[in-house]
Amino acid sequence: MLNRLSLKTKAILFACGIGIIPMLVIGFTAYSSTNKQIVQQEITSQQYRTETLNNRVSRFLFERYGDINIISNLPFLRNPEIWSILSPKEKTSVLNRFIETYGVYDNVAVFDLKGNVIAKSSETAISNQKDQNYFQKVIKTGKTVINDVEIGQSKDKVFIYFAAPVTDSITGKMIGVARTQMPLTAIQDLLANFGKNGDEWHLIDNASGKIFAALEKGQIGRVATLDFPSLSQLQGTNKINTGISIDKIDGAEQLITYSPFYELNGLPPLNWSLLVASDTKNIFSTQHYLLIVLIIGTGITALIVSGMAIFFTNPTTKLLKRITDTLAFSANEIVNTVQQQELTINQQASSVNETTTTIEQLGASSLQSAQQAEASASEAQEALTIAENGTQAVHKTMEGMGTLKENVQSIAEQIMRLKEQTGQIATISNLVGDIANQTNMLALNAAVEAVHAGEQGKGFSVVAMEIRKLADESQKSAEKINVLVTDLQASINSTVTATDEGSKKTDESIKLAEGMAQAFAGVAEAVNHVFVNNQQIFASSKQQVVAVQQVIAAMNVINLGAQETSQGINQVRVSTDELKSAAQDLQAVV
């Protein structure tokens, strides 16, 4: 996937990654750390509010506990004499003043040990309380009690009873039970301002597990663990604890804190607990705001970094595009030049092979000329012997002279052909020199192009220098061949001269043989001269063979150099093809 993207796109993505990824890592690390701090802070804050609420309710109940103790110790209740003096109306008036003073009770009553009303604050009829739970606890323990909350059919008529024993001031014996009746609305009023910050408080009766007082009246009478499933785990610790739960009424996720009511000095233990719940979307709104700020900041940073990346990478990528285009074009030109050089070197090698074949033919001809010259020398020796034998061998000598003339003519023809072939060798040698010069120039051009290619062309430059060295060696070999050919031509010219002279002498010998009497002595001298000339021809022919062998050796060297040059050019072509492929790949990437 990434390989298909252009260099410009990769540069922009890389710049964006450098700018955005560290910000995301730092941002989300800070968010995670801050989030934990916020959660812990909210948990601590809610536990503090719960403790405050718990303490407020406990102190409120402690005050009510003190109220019932004060009422149970009123003199007119404990002293039978005062009791008998006051009328029922006066007794009612005293109890009514308590209701008016504290403002939290709706009824105050006093009962005898049988549960019958003996004094009350209002004219409301009160039935016998002997079977009531609070009454039985006071009778059995002789202590002040706070009755367990009992929720009836009407959630608006839920009361809390405070009861205390009334003892005789003289005997100290229990003579009755005083009771105050406080509606739960008093606690609702006490905690009216607590829910303004989004907290929902709930008072739970642990005996029944039901909510008997709450900010939302709809929750009164409901089983707390059903509305808050995670409450059971929190209750197991029997101390203040916090967790996450789902409110079954509205389905909202809430942070809840559970706190049992702690015992206060002088206050009987309450089998109650307090639950405070807050919607997480409200208390953790700072987290959501922080996350939104982080996302928006990241988005803005991404836009800015992308814009800067585009602004700064455009000139660079355009420059790289021009460079890669130039590199690809140069590589293609180098490939074409190397291919032409390879073709030229192959042609040079073919020409060298042909030259070598021609020189070998020349060597064979030279060897044949030497053999013929040697044969001529033998015949001249025989002619000399015949001349010495006298006139009897004149006719044979005539024939020998005729044969000699033919041989000399044949030698002259062979020498002329040798001269022509030597000229061809000179021409081919000159052609080899020209090819070496051209190869040298092409290698020089290739080295210049390699320098232009920079670092990528260093290998090609080395190969081009090797090609120049081989071309210089080829040129030097060609020059040596030209020197040898020049010497060979000079020898051939001498041989031609000698052959012409031999022909003339042979003609003269024939004429002298015809005039046997006049030229017999000259015949011997002429034949002897022919013998010497043939010896010279034989020596020249042997030198020609040696020179031709040297030329063949030089041509073999040239042929070997041409083969090495061809291999070097082939390696250069392979390297250039790789350079061209790399340039095309780079051009595609850019």
In a domain, 307, yes or no: no
DSSP symbols for 258-327: EEEPPPPTTSPPP-EEEEEEEEHHHHTHHHHHHHHHHHHHHHHHHHHHHHHHHHHHHHHHHHHHHHHHHH
Structural domain tally of the chain?
A: 3
38, 127: one domain: no
Q: pTM for the complete prediction? A: 0.47
Confidence of residue 338 (pLDDT cuts 50, 70, 90): low
Q: What is the mean pLDDT of the chain?
A: 79
In a domain, 292, yes or no: no
324, 473: one domain: yes
Residue finishing a domain among 222, 240, 267 = 267
Per-residue pLDDT reduced to its tens digit, 259-294: 998 777 777 888 899 999 988 887 666 666 667 876
Check whether 111 has a pLDDT greater than 90. Answer: yes
Per-residue pLDDT reduced to its tens digit, 342-386: 777 677 667 667 767 776 776 677 677 667 767 766 776 776 686
CATH code (residue 565): 1.10.287
Check whether 148 has a pLDDT greater than 60. Answer: yes
Percent of the chain residues topping a pLDDT of 70: 79
In a domain, 282, yes or no: no
- Range picked from 167-171, 400-404, 507-511 for highest mean pLDDT: 167-171
Encoded tokens for 229: 């499933």
Confidence of residue 142 (pLDDT cuts 50, 70, 90): very high
335, 388: one domain: yes
111, 221: one domain: no
Per-residue pLDDT reduced to its tens digit, 459-503: 767 877 888 788 788 778 878 878 887 887 787 788 778 778 877
Contact predicate 72/164, CB 8 Å: yes
Encoded tokens for 387: 């001349």
462, 375: one domain: yes
Task: Check residue 289 and give its pLDDT.
Answer: 62
Torsion of CA 107, 108, 112, 113, to 10 degrees: 80
557, 446: one domain: yes
173, 248: one domain: no
In a domain, 325, yes or no: yes
Task: Check residue 3 and give its pLDDT.
Answer: 63
In a domain, 327, yes or no: yes
Percent of the chain residues topping a pLDDT of 90: 22
Contact predicate 452/344, CB 8 Å: no
Task: Check residue 116 and give its pLDDT.
Answer: 96
Distance CA 214, CA 155 (A): 11
Check whether 27 has a pLDDT greater than 70. Answer: no
175, 219: one domain: no
121, 88: one domain: yes
Angle, alpha carbons 355-356-357 (nearest 5°): 90
Residue finishing a domain among 126, 157, 187 = 187
Per-residue pLDDT reduced to its tens digit, 37-96: 777 888 998 899 999 999 999 999 999 999 999 999 999 999 999 999 999 999 999 999
In a domain, 420, yes or no: yes
Residue-range definition of the domain harbouring residue 201: 1-62+191-267
